[in-house]
Structure 1
Amino acid sequence: MSRPRSQAEYLARLVPPSVAGLNRRSLLAGAAGAGALLGTGLLAGCGSDSDSGAGSKTVSVGSNASDPTPKDVLAKLAAGFQSSSGVQATINTVDHNTFQENINNYLQGKPDDVFTWFAGYRMRFFAAKGLAGDVSDVWGKLSGYSDAFKKASTGDDGKQYFVPASYYPWAVFYRKSVWQQRGYQVPKTLDDFNALGAQMKKDGLNPIAFADKDGWPAMGTFDILNLRINGYQFHVDLMAGKEAWTSDKVKKVFDTWAGLLSLHQPDSLGRTWQEAAQSLQQKKSGMYLLGLFVAQQFNENEQDDIDFFTFPEIDSTIGAKALDAPIDGYMMARKPKSEANAKKLLEYIGGVDAANIMVKGDPGTLVANTGADTSGYTALKKKAAELVGSATEIAQFLDRDTRPDFASTVMIPALQQFIKDPKDISGLLTSIENQKKSIFTS
């Protein structure tokens, strides 16, 4: 559930779901415009045509799980699947960044039967382009998933194209010992939140730890404010280019954010998320809006001192049940060499046995299936799972819910400009809207 360590790594991880145009080098150089992204090479599916046929006992998996722990977990999933079904899953692992850079070419070529990917817009894009297979019948056999997880796995046509495996929620984290010492209470409304921040300032704390040197963390702040002020549907439509950034609804988000900036840790554009998390760990900041991976910056003996709350309600008619919780999982190629085996594998991955393997194999993973044995979860992980389970809608984070070229070349500099100088919100939103029109109509 780790996030990129630097802006360069973040940009390298962005996915090219559109057509030819910007390559990785031009992205890293800060190029923008109407072009989309094209990988620098080709990802070729390694399954052979000889694998096909009704009697096939193999299925191929294209995987971006190149880090040791997730790679080992996938190998254990493949072994478990073979043991239960008699079908051998051949895993073709490609470096995480390379996989994502070349996914568009990969899916248009000869992809593996099943491949690792992300829920939300990035899934819907390939489904709409006919580059992914319909797995609605697999979903008919699955249990243990909330409606929000199913919604995040559903394409624009109402069919399912994705099976969730793991996730990590975003929330407001704090140290219990600091709050107990100061007598702080979890805020229920934005007014409560502002009052709490003001008290923390008086107590000598940075109310909200904050960092945006790497470009992506501020996206989480925008997401949660937009979800709380305008609701889930408006948020995902805005990310998909269907709503105007110049609307009063979006302006209200930035106006609200501008009112909170004085509570944010200063000089955030020169700070990494790890450094901001360390200020929370060192009891110099009172709160931090981030993903569950914030716990990585705490010592083992401090893990029980971490707690969180979901960002408070702003509009009572909208509530506070929607959140960012990026979901990782699996999809099926549009024409798998062995569709029957591909669907068998997805059904297995979506089941309880696979979820239990993931729980035991990766201590940093929250599994999507609620039927898993999570008795080994820490109290923090158990609470995080309950939070996502109670969510009415799950957004995937800005850089997953929109086109990656728009996220990287428009939103990163725009949000950083806002943080640096929040005075000209109208001018900023006009610039975003103009660039959005250029990119989304290319």
Structure 2
Amino acid sequence: MTQSPPDQPLRPVPSNVSRTVSRRSMLRGTAIGAGALAIPGALAACGKSGGSSGNSKTVTFGSNYSDAIPKKGIAAVMAAYQKSSGVSVKTNTQDHNSFQENISRYLQGNPEDVFSWFAGNRMKFFAAQGLATDISDVWAGLTGFSDALKKASTGEDGKQYFVPLYNYPWAVFYRPSVWQAKGWQVPKTLDDLTALCKTIKSSGMDAFAFADKDGWPAMGTFDQINMRTNGYDFHISLMAGKESWTDPKVKQVFSTWASLLPYHQQGANGRIWQDAANSVQQKKSAMMVIGSGQIAQSFQGSDATDLDFFPYPVINPDFGQDAVEAPIDGFMVAKKAKDIDAAKALMKFLGSPAAENAYQSVDGGNIPTNSGADTSNFTPFQKKCQEYIAGAKQISQFMDRDTRPDFASQVMIPSLQSFINKPSDIDGLLKSIDAQAKSIFAQDN
């Protein structure tokens, strides 16, 4: 879920990062930041010729929807567009993480006309780099999106560059049937959660399914604990480089997390999130901090009705459970699109209820952002996700979407993986993060 900006020099990796983790992260950061990583052949994009006539019968789409269910959902959307417009969509699907890691090179090279991406800072960064096309004219004809969604699709220059498709809440997901059989109750506070974890561990199960091989899943746990401890405003300020990582408030986040790590699946840095989610589905783990759009992929068929969630428990009563993490996924037009008019025509459709209905017909783990989308067939799970987001007092996007992409990928991925491996050296870790944050965010001043 993270990527580095073009020509961004590699920042130092924390000194206490294990060599295995830091080597992988350094190679990732060096390759992306210095532009040394060759884009896989398929990612080089097979854009068509034909200029911006708007008469093209083909538009190209670069997709990071590589997991089976989201891939089918996107295919349904593009099929609906082809049927309604008579225009063919040539889709180039890449592995989700590889797409993110190569995005800077991709957009500077020969990209597809339209590509899948994320709202907020992730969108703003590439808009500011001049790698995305202004689609304010498309937005002028869109309906069904709230002012908040429009703001999340707007660059620093006040122009729109993004069209949302869906969002989804991060929370604590579990199988109700297992909890009912065990007599476990949903925890309301951190003390409740800790006591429950001890009970679950004594039963022979892992309390939390946990994975961070891909680098981003652990960010969600950090965000949950940080917002419950210090509130939404501090989270946003910290992600913007305006707070010190050596602040006792940040240390408290890691100390709380360290106290819970013994109840998480061990070996998280070597496990992908799908395997962790499957361990909940297989009744090997009791719960998981993840997004609904991810874990729902492991709960299909009859299992789909045995999936529920609760907000991360209260840590600081001053902030309660006010903040909800609900990332927004959608689409952008590349600045180097071969046919801008054809790309904008597709974007207009992607911003319609018809597109969201087509996607939701396949993937029920995400919530459509357009108020005109059909929700009459929503399951109780989908309705609860929708109500949870709607009832939030504040909505965050996710660590690597709320901060600079280079800070997320080059500093926070290896730092959190280091913490998972060695949670005892919190002071050393935070000192390292803080020094790197000051260097990177100095570029914004």
Bin of the TM-score, shorter chain as denominator length: 0.7 to 0.9
Q: Does 1:36 align with 2:33?
A: yes
Q: Distance in 1 between matches of 2:111 and 2:280?
A: 44
Q: Distance in 2 between matches of 1:407 and 1:178?
A: 36
- The C-alpha deviation readout for 1:157-215, integer Å capped at 9, x for no partner, is 44432111134432101121232234433233333333433444455543333334554
How many angstroms does 1:339 deviate by? 4.9
Name which of structure 1's ranges 295-304 and 177-186 shifts more when overlaid on structure 2.
Answer: 295-304
Match in the other structure for 1:61: 60
Asked if structure 2 preserves the Cα contact closer than 8 Å seen for 1:197 and 1:263, the reply is yes
Determine helix, strand or coil for the equivalent of 1:117. strand
User: For 1:398-413, what aligned pairs fall within 5 Å after superposition?
Assistant: 398-413=399-414
Aligned-partner residue type, residue 30 of structure 1? M
Determine helix, strand or coil for the equivalent of 2:44. coil
Q: Distance in 2 between matches of 1:242 and 1:326?
A: 22
- The C-alpha deviation readout for 1:35-90, integer Å capped at 9, x for no partner, is 82525248357243x4424x645673331257476566555544544555x57354
CA spacing shift, 1:234–1:160, aligned 2, 3 Å: farther
How many angstroms does 1:33 deviate by? 7.6
Match in the other structure for 1:289: 289
Asked if structure 1 preserves the Cα contact closer than 8 Å seen for 2:52 and 2:342, the reply is no
Q: Percent identity?
A: 52
How many angstroms does 1:298 deviate by? 4.6
CA spacing shift, 1:72–1:125, aligned 2, 3 Å: same
Asked if structure 2 preserves the Cα contact closer than 8 Å seen for 1:45 and 1:106, the reply is no
Name which of structure 1's ranges 404-413 and 127-136 shifts more when overlaid on structure 2.
Answer: 404-413
Match in the other structure for 2:13: none
Match in the other structure for 1:123: 123
Asked if structure 1 preserves the Cα contact closer than 8 Å seen for 2:230 and 2:319, the reply is yes
Q: Distance in 2 between matches of 1:99 and 1:87?
A: 28
Asked if structure 1 preserves the Cα contact closer than 8 Å seen for 2:172 and 2:287, the reply is yes
Determine helix, strand or coil for the equivalent of 1:30. helix
Q: Distance in 2 between matches of 1:44 and 1:332?
A: 14
Aligned-partner residue type, residue 373 of structure 1? D
Q: Distance in 2 between matches of 1:168 and 1:319?
A: 20
User: For 1:268-347, what aligned pairs fall within 5 Å after superposition?
Assistant: 268-269=268-269, 271-292=271-292, 293-298=294-299, 300-334=301-335, 339=340, 341-347=342-348
Match in the other structure for 1:93: 92
Match in the other structure for 1:17: 5
Match in the other structure for 1:427: 428
- The C-alpha deviation readout for 1:361-407, integer Å capped at 9, x for no partner, is 44565433243224444433332233233334443333444445443
Asked if structure 1 preserves the Cα contact closer than 8 Å seen for 2:45 and 2:92, the reply is no
Aligned-partner residue type, residue 36 of structure 1? G
Asked if structure 1 preserves the Cα contact closer than 8 Å seen for 2:64 and 2:99, the reply is no
Aligned-partner residue type, residue 333 of structure 1? A
Q: Distance in 2 between matches of 1:396 and 1:257?
A: 21
CA spacing shift, 1:112–1:424, aligned 2, 3 Å: closer
Match in the other structure for 2:221: 221
How many angstroms does 1:141 deviate by? 3.8
Match in the other structure for 1:209: 209
Q: Distance in 1 between matches of 2:404 and 2:116?
A: 18
What is the root-mean-square deviation in Å for CA atoms of aligned residues? 3.6
Normalised to the residue count of structure 2, the TM-score between the two structures is: 0.79
Q: Distance in 1 between matches of 2:129 and 2:361?
A: 36
CA spacing shift, 1:297–1:109, aligned 2, 3 Å: closer
CA spacing shift, 1:103–1:75, aligned 2, 3 Å: same
Aligned-partner residue type, residue 38 of structure 2? T
CA spacing shift, 1:377–1:105, aligned 2, 3 Å: same
Asked if structure 2 preserves the Cα contact closer than 8 Å seen for 1:241 and 1:440, the reply is yes
Q: Can you give the 5+ residue segments of structure 2 that lack an aligned partner in the other structure?
A: 11-21
User: For 1:85-234, what aligned pairs fall within 5 Å after superposition?
Assistant: 86=85, 88=87, 90-91=89-90, 93=92, 95-96=94-95, 99-108=99-108, 111-146=111-146, 148-201=148-201, 205-234=205-234
Q: Distance in 1 between matches of 2:123 and 2:229?
A: 26
How many angstroms does 1:431 deviate by? 0.7
Q: Does 1:351 align with 2:324?
A: no
Asked if structure 2 preserves the Cα contact closer than 8 Å seen for 1:57 and 1:87, the reply is no
- The C-alpha deviation readout for 1:131-177, integer Å capped at 9, x for no partner, is 22333453344343455544432323444321111344321011212
- The C-alpha deviation readout for 1:212-254, integer Å capped at 9, x for no partner, is 4554332211111122233334324433434332223322211
Asked if structure 2 preserves the Cα contact closer than 8 Å seen for 1:221 and 1:289, the reply is yes
Aligned-partner residue type, residue 155 of structure 2? G
Q: Distance in 2 between matches of 1:146 and 1:139?
A: 12
Match in the other structure for 1:8: none
Aligned-partner residue type, residue 243 of structure 2? E
Q: Distance in 2 between matches of 1:162 and 1:141?
A: 14
How many angstroms does 1:323 deviate by? 2.9
Asked if structure 1 preserves the Cα contact closer than 8 Å seen for 2:113 and 2:333, the reply is yes
Q: Distance in 1 between matches of 2:333 and 2:73?
A: 19
Name which of structure 1's ranges 195-204 and 303-312 shifts more when overlaid on structure 2.
Answer: 195-204
How many angstroms does 1:328 deviate by? 2.2
How many angstroms does 1:101 deviate by? 4.5
How many angstroms does 1:432 deviate by? 1.1
Aligned-partner residue type, residue 162 of structure 1? F
Q: How many residues align?
A: 424
